[in-house]
Amino acid sequence: MRIVRNVVPPLAVFVLVVGAWWLMAATVYGSSNYLLPRPNAVLSAAFDNAGTLWSGLRITFVEAASGFVLAIAVGMLGAIVMSLAKPLERSFYPYAVLLQTVPIVAVAPVIVLWFGYNQTSVIVIAFMISVFPILNNTLLGLLSADRNHLDLFRMHKASRATQFRKLRLPGALPNVFAGLRVSAGLAVIGAIVGEFIIGSGGQEGGLGVKVIFAQSRLATALLFAEVLAATLLGFAFFLVVSVLGNRLLRSWHESAMRSDS
């Protein structure tokens, strides 16, 4: 019964969206299928170009996953350092915000100058786009430890390391996974944007590069298939992080317990 309750609503929305897509493609864009191809045409293009899609998906996955892992390491470490003392937070947090607000297109030439026209530059862009939610949410979680619990640890003369390991970090996990869920999708977006900016020097590349070439050939059905593949990749990242978070939190945190009930 729980499976039906969880599966039927999103499946019904999917059917409605695909039906509306097909209806619009058949009526409004009936004579201009190059603008909005029908779902069956997109599916056919995906099967006909399965090798191309798979190679692009694999490259984009490596770039997005590398940027995401780097964002986790840097974001959590930065949050831990800033949570140690208010002066550290006041000193470094504004620069973390600046990193989030830097226009990627504007700094792309500098990134290329430093790292070259290669996957490393794409990974750096994926990292820059996805690091701030992890840092911000982790810092918020670390600074939100209950004062009564902190006083209890201090009464027992617990060291700061013990307070961090047994109170602050476990209590911050819901915030950490909230940031990870946001950054999981942003890492894929960052990889695609990086490929748009940097990886267009040749057709062999990730999904972003292949989208550019499909657009230049007006292969709209293939373009839609590549965009859907990128969307599913981002959803897969989000799903993996959500499952891991629920497994860690479901025995004690209300949000995960609600999702399991």
pLDDT at 135: 95
Query: Which token pair is 248?
Result: 């860690």
Q: For residue 119, tell me if it sits in a domain.
A: yes
Instruction: Residue 105: name the closest of 89, 83, 129 by CA.
Output: 129
Q: For residue 16, tell me if it sits in a domain.
A: no
Distances (CA, A) of 144 to 159, 171, 191, 199: 18, 8, 32, 41
Q: Are 156 and 216 in contact (CB under 8 A)?
A: no
Report the CATH number at residue 170.
Answer: 1.10.3720.10
Q: For residue 12, tell me if it sits in a domain.
A: no
47 vs 77: CA distance, rounded Å: 43
Q: Are 248 and 255 in contact (CB under 8 A)?
A: no
Q: For residue 14, tell me if it sits in a domain.
A: no
Q: For residue 6, tell me if it sits in a domain.
A: no
Sign of CA pseudo-dihedral 133, 134, 140, 141: positive
Q: For residue 43, tell me if it sits in a domain.
A: no
Q: How many domains does the chain have?
A: 1
Query: Which token pair is 199?
Result: 């990886």
Per-residue pLDDT of the chain (261 residues), as tens digits, is: 666 777 788 888 888 998 998 888 888 777 667 788 889 989 999 999 999 899 999 999 999 999 999 999 999 999 999 998 888 889 999 998 888 888 888 888 888 888 888 889 999 999 999 999 999 999 999 988 778 887 788 887 777 888 888 888 888 899 999 999 999 999 999 999 889 887 654 456 889 999 988 888 888 999 999 999 999 999 999 999 999 988 888 776 665 565 444
pLDDT at 199: 63
pLDDT at 7: 79
129 is in which domain, residue-wise?
50-256
Q: For residue 196, tell me if it sits in a domain.
A: yes
